[in-house]
Amino acid sequence: MVRLSTGVVGLDDLIEGGLKERSINLVVGQPGSGKSTFCIHFLIAGMKVGEKCLFVSVEETKEKFFDNMARFGFDLKSYEDAGLLYYHKTTVNELRSFLDQSVISFEQFITDGVTRIIIDSATALMLAYNAETSQRNSLMNLFEKLGKFPITTLITAESDEGQGRFGVEYLVDGIFRLYYRKIGQERVRTLEIFKMRGTDHSKQEIVYRLSKGGLILYPGEKILA
């Protein structure tokens, strides 16, 4: 079983070495919790060893996104210049019109040898559909298409405790949850490996911080209630 490094220092050890090759994994969290940053760690781990990667954004322009990631010290432009990173800004309507015809709008990149792909975010994509069944069907459609290629996928979603998440959690192989909880007078960020098919994974919530260097785990830190 080939495992791909998540690029988050210390995380691979908690999931038997990394993400399973060809798996589809979800990163769920509140706005600003670090979902996109988590995904960039995963792409950089691949690009460092020469893998081609694709970031599909349903919301953010490349310029803004690259600028924001530069704050963490990630030089995405240099990977793009080296031909390792494709950034594809799409719209909800574009994705929907393609998916409705059983086509992925960014297929050209996948066939160009990409091995790691991010879809940021499923929540935005789902806004294109009103009925929950159409949302689920379109996601299943997308995942089925992705499954045909030798690629490993991370997809983000906003956490939404009230409404469920159009069943996406049942469709994916792995789920990382990012929390931002008020504990006493402070907010603490924690990461949980909620599900990982075929993997003996850690069940602990791990404290993390977002800072220069990106998403940094502090596995030794206990959360005091």
Ligand X SMILES: Nc1ncnc2c1ncn2[C@@H]1O[C@H](COP(=O)(O)OP(=O)(O)OP(=O)(O)O)[C@@H](O)[C@H]1O
Residues of this chain that interact with ligand X (CB under 6 A) are 29, 31-37, 68, 71-72, 210-211
Q: How far is the CB of 191 from Mg ion (least distance, A)?
A: 15
Q: Report the residue number, 30 or 204, with the smaller CB distance to Mg ion.
A: 30
Q: Residue 132: which residues within 8 A CB-CB, separation 6 or more? A: 166, 167
Query: Residue 183: which residues within 8 A CB-CB, separation 6 or more?
Result: 223, 224, 225
* Of residues 218, 216, 217, the one with CA closest to residue 73: 216
At position 121, the amino acid (one-letter code) is S
Q: With binding defined as CB under 5 A, does residue 123 bind Mg ion?
A: no
Span of 29-37, 50-58, 94-102, 136-144 interacting with Mg ion by CB under 5 A:
29-37
Q: How far is the CB of 178 from ligand X (least distance, A)?
A: 7
Q: Which residue is nearest to ligand X (CB)?
A: 32
Nearer to Mg ion, 35 or 177 (CB): 35
Residue 57 in contact with Mg ion, rule: CB under 5 A:
no
Residue 132 to residue 13: CA distance in whole angstroms: 36
DSSP 99-152: HHTT--TTHHHHTTTEEEEEEE-HHHHHTT-SSHHHHHHHHHHHHHHHTTSS-E
Report, in Å, the least distance between residue 35 CB and ligand X: 4
Nearer to Mg ion among residue 36 and residue 199 (C-beta): 36
Should residue 36 be labelled a site residue for Mg ion when binding is judged by CB under 5 A? yes
Closest approach of ligand X to the CB of residue 26, in Å: 13
| Nearer of residues 73 and 198 to ligand X, judged by Cβ | 73
Return the bridge partners of 12, or none.
none
**Which one, of 29, 26, 27, lies nearest residue 172 by Cα?**
26
Q: Which does 141 bind (CB under 5 to 8 A by kind): ligand X, Mg ion, none?
A: none
Contacting residues toward Mg ion, per CB under 5 A: 35-36
